[in-house]
Structure 1
Amino acid sequence: MSRPIKGDTRVIQVKQKKANGVIYVYERKVKYNPETRSNDILSSKLVGKITPESNNAIIPTKFRAKPQTEKEEKRIPVRFHMGMLSILDWIGASSGIEADLKKVMPDSTCGSLAERIAAIAKFWVATGGNTLPNMYAWQVKHGIDKDCMISEDIYRAVFEILGTHDGFIQEYFKSRAARLDTGDSVAYDSTTISTYSDSLTQARYGFNKDKDGLPTIKVLTLYSLNTEQPFAYWSQPGNLPDSICVENALKQLDYLNVTKPTVVTDNGFCSQENIIHYIQNHIKFVTRATRSDGKWVKDSIDQNLSLLDDINNVIDFDNDITGTCITIKPTLSYTAKYSCSSHKKGDKIKLTPRLYLGIFRSRSRAYEAERNFTRELYQLKALIEEGNEDRLSETALNKASTYLSWSKTRNGGIKVVFRKEAVDEALKYKGIFCLCSNKINDAAELLKLGRKREHIEDMFELLKQKTDGKKTRVQDTDRLKGRQFVQFIALSYYDFLYKKIKDMKATLGKPNGDSRHDLKDNLDREKDLLKWLKNSSLNEVLQWFDAVDLIQLTGKRHKNIKLITETTIRDRLFLERLGYSGQMKIN
């Protein structure tokens, strides 16, 4: 007979070994759940670690000061960093991020869900992607009220709630989409997140942007190109190719009430099926295309290469690039999903839509690509001449066979010559790229939209590096969904600041016709600020203002004395041009 289930709360010790050999020891309160036949974790506390040098002895974690009592707080001077956090609070208010969170997120067992989400997102932005176990010390240093502090149990609960209530997340996306301009251009792109976990159902082996050999989860994000803000995302298994995701993107845009957008994508989403989806749904699109995306693309490039040598086709805002836009009517086909008066289900249907193909060549890219290509061929030539043909990889050997020809000489050596026609054929396409659209028929306008989309790649790098998003960090799919949403909020903070600084840099140091502004001293200060911004990352700018402190003292005549660190002229100019108003701005 089996033992009866007590269902009482127990404390157990759990050891987790990391890749570096360090074993972390946790104390967990657990309670058996007969429905799931497993223990529910009520709380978890890191008590120490075992290193290879400690001989299995547990090294206690760092001492953390206990929160002060109200009497102690009144007597003891308090000093904390407030500059960076003030800017982040301003970003949350000015961008509408926090207002949209409060609009759709309810209160929960862990307090105001909107405030908790914003607090975790700000921590990631402020620390450049530090891990959440370090959040407690950061909150103490930045004067967070003890009643508002985020503990390990709280951020776990936040992730759990968000992961099991997808409606909250979708309503937030709808609120952000409502802020888009009418007819806004929408960029759509993806990245992959690697994981060591074997318990996440979405983790699959497929294309991996980090090339670390791990299974991945794919995150697809929708961006407004006018505001340069992300407004929605979703995740899916890592083995699904980008090219089949456009149909879901169009459905999500419909749910979010985004009307008449121009969808801008990279060449990973360019396919015959996707172009047909756009046309059938009356969606304007711009997508990057390559010669391998269809014979009609390759033929169009070949027929118009000479136009790229014409000085009249140099792009006015970038003299490094020549471009032309041609009208084409390729023959596309698809299989009918339903029967109707004109065809039956399963029939092959042909379309000949009017498309516009922008063909561009970058002189600098062509020169760099040609130099690298030539250097690689000469390295292959040298290896073959030395008799090391058997050491070449399959890819290298295929390239050598395409562009080189070799034979043995009478004296036993190896003679290698270049296949001139093949080399010339490859070189003529260096530096060339294409943008295809069903709406825009101007080369310069196509290039502008393509350039705006390239900003997304930088934002994905920020998502991974600055929001602790390079690895999943959780072992549960629902918690992962909640964690990804908070990372998305942190990315929105970054993007808002990025756009503000980008707009600021475009005007700094330039006369605007205002006699007071155009004084030499003012322009020199702006040029000094511009130089600093060009040499500083977003995170470095925030860290610079983290030196602004607030000191609270108690005097005989004044019960509450507040001293704020002074700011430099350049700092005040930055805050003014940013649009920030608050305690740091001193008139």
Structure 2
Amino acid sequence: MSYKIEQPIGNNIYVYEVQSYWDKSKQQARQKRKYIGKKDPKTGNIITPRKSNLPRFSKDFGNVYLLKHIAQSIGLTDILKKIFPDDFKEILAFAYYDICESKALYLFKSWMEMTYLPQTKALTPKQITSFTRQMSSMEEERERFFNKWLDKRKPVNAVVFDITSLSGYSELIKLLEWGYNRDLEKLPQINFGVVFDQEGNIPLFYRIYPGSITDVKTLKNILKHLLANKLKQIIFILDRGFYSMSNISEMEEESIDFIIPFPFKVKQAITLISKHKAILQSPLSAFKFKKEVIYYIKDNIVLNDINLSAHIYFSKTREYYEQNHFMNRLLDIEDNIKKRTFYYLGNVREYLSQNFRGSEKLFDITLKEGKAYLTRKVKAISRKINKMGYMILLSNNHTITKEDALLYYRRRDYLEKLFDSLKNELDGKRLRGHSKETIEGRLYLKFISLILYSAISNKMKEQELFKKYSVKELLNEMKKIRVVEMTNGKQYITEISKKQSNILNAFDLEIPIDPRY
């Protein structure tokens, strides 16, 4: 059975006849399209075209046009071309696909068939597996890329280093080991450690570690790599996961400069807050940081005979938002408990722990006829609320100012968002590879995606485009710019809307005339 569809392209509406059929080889329903003509906007009649004016194809163009421009502007294309002269177009195409679609690589060929990248191979799933294995075997080339990319990004004064856990289902792969998983998943994982240029918000290089390796053991090797590339005055901005007395001692012993949050689970952190609470509420301690009023005091603290600077901050704005968020979560969990049936106290505690981490310590729980009743522990809740709005940053570099310490650490929020994008938007949370080689190759391709994703995010932030779009929404808007090729070989680009024109201007891009850019 056939039916007609209408496809608006620019100011015209093209009409196609669609015939559905069953593809026996692929065991799925497919469609054939036959171009009928152009719809007359006044009469609604179909104008049958001359053969030379028939559209041969219409493909997505604006999204890859933008991404290609970004890759060129940051120097990524040139470096990849020098190191992978035969494969750089495919490497970039995988990055475009990752950012635009966030889907598994086996769907890459279908995406390529709908996208205008005429000089790039539309690899099949089997060819993609071979390609990722090839990338894995090219370790020397990957290291050359990291070195050239580092050189391109100089000067680099501060780096952010963090590790995220990537889980997998293949228990035969040596890289996958049981270890501390930051997403609390019960799956073997590897740790993907990325070093970022802290000021430029761009990934510099990465290392892969088995899941059982302690995070801080990697810092010495990272530092050696940076020093070998003649980078000096390096400060590692670390997250709470790196904090331990042994790690602090080891970093000091290895002359690794760091900034790290002081967790409130450590007694000395609470003591510092109590000691300075009065001055942190006083107008005398206030300073302005990016339009926000922050209260601050600096103290020294000795841990394991190591003298550290303690930068203590209090924000009334953050206190309000943290308290509001916390109480909303608390009230929501109470409502959810009322709607559920429980027969064992252990099940209630498990539900609380899984849905609001730590909330099982905030309630007294009683069970009656399958219903759980929660009574708030006022002291436990008050203890949590009293910490809100406060933050302590420890550093063994005693020359860092209050502004720089806060700026460095808050920029880590950007890194956390990029890791979220790696795991979610870029489909990186589950490793779909079936061998050590495919995983190593896949992670290299992910890293290229992460560079490009960071670059587009930086520009969007600079131009305040996040007020209107997410990365994906912006690329979906640009995707509406299409290339149409006629049967006579002539190509043209569909009309560009005001929204699309504004995006192009924000990225310092001219409106494309010839699609063969």
TM-score by length of 2: 0.77
* 1:76 shift after superposition: 6.6
* 1:287 shift after superposition: 1.5
- Assess, with a 3 A threshold, how the Cα gap between structure 1 residues 256 and 151 changes in structure 2: closer, same or farther: farther
Is the 2:189–2:210 Cα contact (8 Å) retained in structure 1?
yes
Equivalent residue for 1:90?
69
Is the 1:315–1:444 Cα contact (8 Å) retained in structure 2?
no
Is the 2:95–2:445 Cα contact (8 Å) retained in structure 1?
yes
Equivalent residue for 2:13?
none
Is the 2:165–2:190 Cα contact (8 Å) retained in structure 1?
yes
Give secondary structure in 1 for the equivalent of 2:501: helix
Q: Which moved more, 1:495-504 or 1:166-175?
A: 166-175
- Assess, with a 3 A threshold, how the Cα gap between structure 1 residues 92 and 305 changes in structure 2: closer, same or farther: same
Is the 1:320–1:363 Cα contact (8 Å) retained in structure 2?
no
Give secondary structure in 2 for the equivalent of 1:463: helix
CA deviation profile, 1:88-147 (whole Å, cap 9, x unmatched) = 111111111111112323x5xxxx1222211222221222x1222222222222233377
* 1:193 shift after superposition: 1.3
Is 1:325 matched with 2:254? no
Is 1:164 matched with 2:155? no
Structure number with higher relative contact order (C-alpha < 8 Å, ≥ 6 residues apart): 2
Equivalent residue for 1:539?
472
2:312 to 358, 376, 397: 358
1:270-285 pair list within 5 angstroms: 270-285=243-258
* 1:455 shift after superposition: 0.7
2:175 to 202, 216, 232: 202
Equivalent residue for 1:519?
none
Superposition RMSD on alpha carbons, in Å?
Answer: 4.0
Is the 1:366–1:432 Cα contact (8 Å) retained in structure 2?
no
Is the 1:365–1:430 Cα contact (8 Å) retained in structure 2?
no
Is the 2:60–2:483 Cα contact (8 Å) retained in structure 1?
yes
Gaps of at least 5 residues in structure 1 are 1-47, 50-56, 66-71, 333-350, 408-415, 506-529
CA deviation profile, 1:126-171 (whole Å, cap 9, x unmatched) = 22x1222222222222233377332334322221122123222122
* 1:217 shift after superposition: 1.6
* 1:227 shift after superposition: 1.4
Give secondary structure in 2 for the equivalent of 1:435: strand
Is 1:552 matched with 2:511? no
1:503-518 pair list within 5 angstroms: 503-505=462-464
Is the 1:194–1:216 Cα contact (8 Å) retained in structure 2?
yes
- Assess, with a 3 A threshold, how the Cα gap between structure 1 residues 441 and 302 changes in structure 2: closer, same or farther: farther
CA distance in 1, matches of 2:361, 2:148: 54
Give secondary structure in 2 for the equivalent of 1:393: helix
Is 1:451 matched with 2:384? no
1:60 to 24, 27, 41: 27
Q: Which moved more, 1:273-282 or 1:483-492?
A: 273-282
Is 1:367 matched with 2:290? no
CA distance in 2, matches of 1:544, 1:371: 38
Equivalent residue for 2:280?
308
1:16-415 pair list within 5 angstroms: 60-61=27-28, 77-105=56-84, 107=85, 112-127=86-101, 129-145=102-118, 148-292=121-265, 294-317=266-289, 322-332=294-304, 351-361=305-315, 362-368=318-324, 371=327, 393=349
- Assess, with a 3 A threshold, how the Cα gap between structure 1 residues 297 and 562 changes in structure 2: closer, same or farther: same
CA distance in 2, matches of 1:260, 1:473: 39
1:309 alignment partner AA: Q
Is the 1:221–1:230 Cα contact (8 Å) retained in structure 2?
yes
CA distance in 1, matches of 2:120, 2:451: 26
* 1:237 shift after superposition: 1.6
2:324 alignment partner AA: E
Percent identity between matched residues is 18
CA deviation profile, 1:488-535 (whole Å, cap 9, x unmatched) = 101111110000111111xxxxxxxxxxxxxxxxxxxxxxxx5xx423
CA distance in 1, matches of 2:344, 2:122: 64
CA distance in 2, matches of 1:81, 1:394: 48
- Assess, with a 3 A threshold, how the Cα gap between structure 1 residues 179 and 274 changes in structure 2: closer, same or farther: farther
Is 1:477 matched with 2:406? no
1:355 alignment partner AA: S
* 1:370 shift after superposition: 6.2
Is the 1:243–1:268 Cα contact (8 Å) retained in structure 2?
no
1:359 alignment partner AA: Y
1:119 alignment partner AA: A
Equivalent residue for 1:337?
none
CA distance in 1, matches of 2:307, 2:471: 44
CA distance in 1, matches of 2:253, 2:234: 15
Give secondary structure in 1 for the equivalent of 2:99: helix
- Assess, with a 3 A threshold, how the Cα gap between structure 1 residues 74 and 152 changes in structure 2: closer, same or farther: farther
Equivalent residue for 2:6?
none
Equivalent residue for 1:574?
503
1:573 alignment partner AA: N
CA deviation profile, 1:456-506 (whole Å, cap 9, x unmatched) = 11111111223221211111112110110001101111110000111111x
2:412 alignment partner AA: R
Give secondary structure in 2 for the equivalent of 1:358: strand
CA distance in 2, matches of 1:262, 1:536: 33
CA distance in 2, matches of 1:394, 1:465: 26
The structure with more radius of gyration: 1
Is the 2:156–2:197 Cα contact (8 Å) retained in structure 1?
no
- Assess, with a 3 A threshold, how the Cα gap between structure 1 residues 431 and 149 changes in structure 2: closer, same or farther: same
* 1:373 shift after superposition: 8.7
Is the 1:572–1:585 Cα contact (8 Å) retained in structure 2?
no
Is 1:433 matched with 2:385? no
1:569 alignment partner AA: K
Is the 1:405–1:417 Cα contact (8 Å) retained in structure 2?
yes
Give secondary structure in 1 for the equivalent of 2:430: coil
- Assess, with a 3 A threshold, how the Cα gap between structure 1 residues 535 and 573 changes in structure 2: closer, same or farther: closer
CA distance in 1, matches of 2:164, 2:299: 32
Is 1:561 matched with 2:494? no
Give secondary structure in 1 for the equivalent of 2:463: helix
Equivalent residue for 1:508?
none
- Assess, with a 3 A threshold, how the Cα gap between structure 1 residues 393 and 378 changes in structure 2: closer, same or farther: closer
* 1:546 shift after superposition: 1.0
Gaps of at least 5 residues in structure 2 are 1-21, 33-50, 367-373
- Assess, with a 3 A threshold, how the Cα gap between structure 1 residues 442 and 158 changes in structure 2: closer, same or farther: same
Equivalent residue for 2:39?
none
Is the 1:86–1:582 Cα contact (8 Å) retained in structure 2?
no
CA distance in 1, matches of 2:230, 2:289: 34
1:552 alignment partner AA: E
1:484 alignment partner AA: L
Is the 1:163–1:479 Cα contact (8 Å) retained in structure 2?
yes
Aligned length: 461
2:427 to 464, 468, 478: 468
- Assess, with a 3 A threshold, how the Cα gap between structure 1 residues 584 and 287 changes in structure 2: closer, same or farther: farther
